[in-house]
Amino acid sequence: MLLDTLKSDVFVAMKAHDQIRVDTLRFLISAIRNAAIAKYGAAGEEAMKDEDVLDVIKKQVKTHKESVEAFASAGRDELVAKERAELAILETFLPKELSDEELKVILAPLMTTGEKNFGLLMKTAMGLVAGRADGGRVSAMLRTLTQ
């Protein structure tokens, strides 16, 4: 289970004296625990599935990307470097992103359905890519394919 992997990685990072990895993983585990309590109540971590953990990781990645942009625009280079380091650690736990060509191959059959409602197309497309591509990329690819 992914949560168990994260917990064991904390101990490995502690033994290696990799403080930024320890801090990042502890913060992530804390966010996962909070999500578990919010979603499953008393069952907590035991009820968490890998999909739930991946959702939390994706949210953390998105937050870190936004922080990098905000700190860069404010000229806080030391914070940009810290956020990028944490972001790199978090991204190692996400599934591999689809390339543009792979995404195009997956989304091309949707164009043959004749569906005109972009919202329904997006819903179907996001189900097909199953978290292996960002919603913005999927939306942009759908728009280019529908033209």
pLDDT at 13: 95
How big is the chain, counted in residues? 147
pLDDT band at 79 (very low <50, low <70, confident <90, very high): very high
Contact predicate 64/77, CB 8 Å: no
- Cβ-proximal residues to 119 (8 Å cutoff; 6+ apart), any chain: none
- pTM metric for this prediction: 0.76
- For the segment 27-67, what is each residue's pLDDT rounded down to a tens digit? 999 999 999 999 888 888 888 888 889 889 989 999 999 99
